[in-house]
Each structure stands twice: as C-alpha cells, then as structure tokens.
Amino acid sequence: MQDEMSTAAAGEKDSFAVAATALAAAEDELERSAVGDDSAEDEEEWWKAEGMPWNHKPGRSDYWCMGWIGFLGIFSLAMLPLRGWLLGLDPPILVGLTGSRTGAAATGALASVNQAPHWLWWLLLGSIMSIKLDWVYWWAGKLWGRGMIEVWAGRSERSRRRYDQAERWARKLGWLGVLVAYVPIPLPIMPVVFVLTGASGMRVKWFVALDFVAATVWNLGYLALGWGVGDPIVDALKYYAKIANWVAIVLLVVILAPLFFKSKKKA
C-alpha cells in the first residue's frame, strides 16, 4: 500500500509548484498592467521564464489547465491519509472511491470468502474513479506538447534521466502505452504516456476509453491476486482495521509536518 501511495503522489508536488508559479506570474502581469507599467517587454516575456511548460503566451485554456494540474497535486496529497483510513473501513469502498490497487486486491480476498457482494460493480466504479482526472495530463499534452515533461524532468539530472527513459518507453509503445502505464515500476511512465497521447493528437474520447480499459484490466488482475491469496489477506485486513485510524493520522502528520516547517523557516 505504501508503494501505491508513493506512486500516486509522485510528481504531484512539482506539478502544484509549477501551477503556483505560473499563476503567480500571471497575477504579477495583471498588477503591472493595472498600475500602467511601461515595460512592455517584461510583460510580454514573463511566460518564457524557466520552469514554464508552454512555448507561447498563455491564454485562458493554459491557465485553466495549469490550475487543474495544481489541483491534482493538492488532491493527491489529501488522498494519502484518506486511502489508509478507507482500507480499514471496507475494501470495496476503497477500490470504489479511489480505484486503489490495494483496495482491488483486498476486495478479491474478501470476495473469495463471500464477504464482498457486488464486487464487480465496485471494480467498475473504481476504474471510473481511477481515471477521473487523467484527462488533465492529456490536455496538457494537447496544449503544450512535451512541455510538462520538460518541467518535471528539469529539477535534477537524476530526474531528467528518469523522465527521458520513461518518454523513450512511451514513444516506442505508442497507444499501447496507455495499457502499460499502470505497470508498477519505478518510472513516471503514467503521466508521461498521458501527456504524449495529447501531444500526438489522440482524441480525448479514445484516450478515456483506453484509459478505462487499462484501469479495469489492472484492477481485475489485482482482484484476482487477492482472490488467490484469500484468507491471509482477510486476516491482515481485520488486524489493519484496528489501527487504520492511527495510520491515517501518521500519514497526515508526514504530509503536513514538512509543509509546516518549510513555511516556518521562510517566515
């Protein structure tokens, strides 16, 4: 479960930071315009600053897309403690509300002992919830090409190597990359694949359809794995239910503490 949570949050902090920077720059531009700043060149060139994904002066669509990317960062962080809490309540709820792979495996284990009725409907709902915001990455690719990948990769040399490798994989796979994007490997292949589908011109309806099929197939695989293991997972879930609230609290502290100390240090 910890690996899944780490994967879900990977890159989202950077996405939120990029969105905040872009929106702050836009506010600065509006302020300069309001006070009648004569430096027209500065107003025209601010969007070319390093760390911005676009290659043109952003318009309304660009700001909206960047805002959604920032929301993705906040949403992913907020979901980390919630996932831990939901797993302790009822695995079908976890897979249904989040599309969680851990929830799918837990649901399969319970289904094997007849404790998860209507598991198929929970699985399909989980697939929908799993892909609910993936279109944002597709939109980023449609608007800015691979610009968002360059932003993610530009943080460090190690990060650039990882994203370059993920991009090479994605380009070789083509549309099949959407099906492979859910493979649990230590590469940010999922966001890269989704961005490249938009950059390549794939229609959003085909992207969403492929994404839904991929999420369903992978969740079904995890469910089958849980079904095969059976009783040991059920026993582990019963124990985990007793400590789920504490796990959620610990995760919340882990998320909020760095943000608190960072803001305190700046102050």
Q: pLDDT by residue for the chain (267 residues), tens digit each?
A: 444 444 444 444 455 555 545 555 455 544 544 444 444 444 556 667 666 788 778 888 988 998 898 888 888 777 777 777 777 666 677 777 778 888 888 888 888 888 888 888 988 998 998 898 999 999 999 999 888 888 887 767 787 888 888 888 888 888 888 888 888 777 778 888 999 999 988 999 999 999 999 999 998 988 888 888 776 666 565 555 555 556 566 666 666 666 656 666 665
Tokens of 231: 């009783």
CB 99 within 8 Å of CB 4: no
Q: What is the pLDDT of residue 171?
A: 86
Q: Would residue 51 count as lying in a domain?
A: no
Total structural domains within the chain:
1
8-19 residues labelled b (16+ CB within 10 A) or e (exposed): bebbbebbbebb
Q: Would residue 262 count as lying in a domain?
A: no
Whole-angstrom distance, CA of residue 205 vs CA of residue 101:
24
Q: What is the pLDDT of residue 150?
A: 83
Angstrom distances, CA of residue 159 to CA of 50, 120, 163, 172: 16, 38, 6, 20
CB 67 within 8 Å of CB 19: yes
Q: What is the pLDDT of residue 134?
A: 92
Tokens of 110: 């319970």
Q: Would residue 125 count as lying in a domain?
A: yes
Q: Would residue 214 count as lying in a domain?
A: yes
Model pTM greater than 0.75? no
Q: Would residue 144 count as lying in a domain?
A: yes
Q: Domain range holding 114?
A: 65-257
Q: Would residue 108 count as lying in a domain?
A: yes
Q: Would residue 265 count as lying in a domain?
A: no
Q: Would residue 50 count as lying in a domain?
A: no
